[in-house]
Structure 1
Amino acid sequence: MASIPGKCTGAHQSHTGMAFLDHPPVPPRSEASDGTTTGWRGRARKPLIGLLVCVLLLGVASLAGILWLQAKVEGNIQRLPDTFTGLTDRPSKPTTGAAADAMNILVLGTDTRSETATTGAEAPGWKPGQARSDTMLLVHLDGDRRAASVISIPRDSWVDIPGHGKGKVSWAYSFGGPSLTVETVETMTDVRIDHLAVVDWEGFKALTDAVGGVDIDIPETVYDSARGVRWEAGRHHLDGEHALLYVRQRYGLQDGDLDRVARQQAFFRTLLEQALAQELRTNPDQVLDLLDLFAKHASVDDDWSTTQMARLAVSLRNLRTADINYLTVPTNGTGMVGDQSVVHLDPSSDLWPAVRQDRMAQWTEDNQDLMTPDVVR
C-alpha cells in the first residue's frame, strides 16, 4: 500500500489528532495607485491562461502569434471527423440577444489504458467498446466573454443514450464515440454544443509536470482501495502521476463519483491559479511550450479551425480566474440500478435553462451553495 503524506514542513498535531500544516506566509495585499490589489490574490485575477484557454496569449498577440498557432498547433492537434455530421433534431441556437454570442464547449477526458496518447498519431482517438469518457465538462462562455462556467457531469449519471436506452453518460463514448456523446449531452440538457475537445490522461499528467506540480489540501485522511493509496490529511504537492491518482479516486470518498468530480474541479482551478502565480503570461516561451504540449494530447472537432480558436482567444482577453465558476450539475444523489452504481440527476433543476438563455451570472449568484468549494474531500 502506498502512503502519500502531506508535503509541507512545520506540521503539528491538533487535539483531534489530525495533522495541520504551517503554510508559507501569504504575501500581504497592498493597494496600488489605481485601486487594484497586489499579492497572490491580485495575481489570481490576471487574465486567464490554462489547459484549453492557454491559446489566449497567442490570440491577443500579433499576426506572428496566430501564424505560429496555425503552423505549430495545427500540425499536432488531432481532428475528430464528422463530430456533428448526421446529428438531427438538435437544440436550436439563439439568434438574438447575449445567448446568440455565448459558446458551449464539451470537454472530455478519456480513460483509454494506452501507452500512447489516445488522441495522437500513434493511437486512434476512439475505438468502439474500448474507451469511456470518465471526465465530462460543459464549459459555458458568457456572450459578453466576461464570465465562464465549468459544469461537471458525473460519469455515472443515469441518462437516455439515443439508440441505446438508459445508461451511464460515460457509456455514450464507448458506444458511439464523440458524435453520440454530443447527441447524448444535447438530449440531456437541451443545450446546443458548439465545439468538442477530447484530452487524454497522458496529456493531463504532462501538463501538471510542465507547471511544476500543483498544491492540493486534503482535509481528512482517506484510503483509495482501488489503487492501494492512502492520502494523509494535509497539503500535498502533486506531480503528474500523483495528480492523476488524486483526480480519479472515488473509492473511499463519502460521495463516490460526486466527490471525484469535485476533486477534478478543485484541481483544475488550482492549476490555473498556480500557473498564473508563476507569471506564465510574461514568459512567452513557456506558454508556447504548454500550447505545443496541449496540442499533442488533444483532439477537437474538425469544424473548429485554428483561426476560430484565435478569434475566440481575442474575445476572452478580459476573462479572469475570479470570473470562472465551477460546479457539478445538480443531482438527487447516488443509487443503484440493477448492479450499477449510478448518479441520479435532478430533473427539476433550472441550471440548463440558465445555460441556454445565457443567464449563468445570475444563476450562480442565486446558487452559491452549489459552487465547488476551495477545499474538497
Structure 2
Amino acid sequence: MVFRTFRLSLLVTVVALIVAFLYGGFEAFLLCAILGVFEVSLSFDNAVVNATVLNRMSEFWQKMFLTIGVLIAVFGMRLVFPLAVVWITAGLSPVRALDIALNPPADGAMHFPDGSPSYETALTAAHPQIAAFGGMFLMMLFLNFIFSEREVTWLSWLERPLAKAGKLDQLAVAVALAALLLAAEFLTPDDHRSTVLIAGLLGVFTYILVDGLGSMFEVDDEDIDGGAEASTGNGGPSKLAGATGKAGFFLFLYLEVLDASFSFDGVIGAFAITSDPIIIALGLGFIGAMFVRSITIYLVRKGTLADYVYLEHGAHWAIGALAVILLISLGVHVNELITGLVGVVLIVAALVSSILRNRRTENAEPAPVPTP
C-alpha cells in the first residue's frame, strides 16, 4: 500500500535529482534535495486539508485534482506563478521576466545594468501582496473551522468556547478583517499599506466567492446524485459528500486556490536557499508537490483522518499559524525553519493525541461476553 502510493513520487524524485545534477552538478543536486524536503515539511498540513476536501468529492473530481490539479501545482504555482508575479509587479514583459530568471546579474547584484531588478529582488518586492492575499485566504479557512460546532474537539478548552462564539453571524469575516487592519496599520510600511489592504481584501473575497459558489450548487448536485448525504462538522467551502458536477468543480477550484495559498511561503522561502528558478521548480514542484499528492492519496485511501480524528484539527491550527506568520512577515522576517516546524509540531501533536484517544477508547470498551 505504502510503496504503491509513493512509487510515482519516488520515481519523479529520482528523475528530478538526475536532471538537477546534469543541470548544475552536485551543488544543484543537493539544493534540489533540500528544497524537496523543505516543501514537504511546509505542506504536510496542506495534504491533510486536501484529504478532508477530497473525501467529499466524487471519484471523478478526485482524479481530476490528483492529475490536472497536480500539474497546475507543479508547473503553475512553482514555475509560472513566480514568473507572472515578476513581470506584472516589476512592469517587465514575460520574455524579459524569463530572461532575468535564467540569467541573473553578475556577482549577485540586485539589479541589472539597465536598471531591471534581479528575479529574486522582483519576487521579494511582491511579498507584501502575496503574504496579504495568502494570509487572509488561509485565515478565513482557519476561522470558519474553529467557529463551527463539531462533536469531536481536540483543544476542547479553547475550541468549544470559540464554536459557541461562532454562532454570531459572519464572525469569521469580522475577525479576519480586523486582523488585516491591524497588520496593515502596525506591521506594514506606509508605502505598501494600500497594496496590502487590497490584496488582503481580495483574499477574503476569493474565499467567500468559492465558498458561496460551492454552497449554491449543493442542492442541485444532491438531486443529480439521488440525494447525496451532506457531511457535517468539516471546515471548507462545501458540505457535500461525493460532490459531482458544479459542486465538485468548485471544490476543485477551492483546492487549487488553497494549494496556491500554501505555496506562497514555500516559493518565497526557497530564495533563502537558491534563486535559480530551474532548481526551485525541480525541488518544490516535482519533488515537493508530488510527495504532497502522494501523502494526500494515502490519507484518503487509508482512511487515516477517520482513524486519527484530531489530525484535521491539527492541520487547521497549523493553517491558522501559517496565516498569522504570513501577516507578521509583512513587517518582520520570519525564518523559514520556524514556518515549517510550527506546522509539523501541531500535526505531530494532533497525531499523538489521536493515538492516545484511540487507546483510551479501546481500553474503555467492555470485554465481549462469552457465549455458553
TM-score by length of 2: 0.29
TM-score by length of 1: 0.29
Structure with higher helix content: 2
The structure whose RCO (Cα within 8 Å, separation 6+) is larger is 2
Asked which structure has the greater CA Rg, the reply is 2
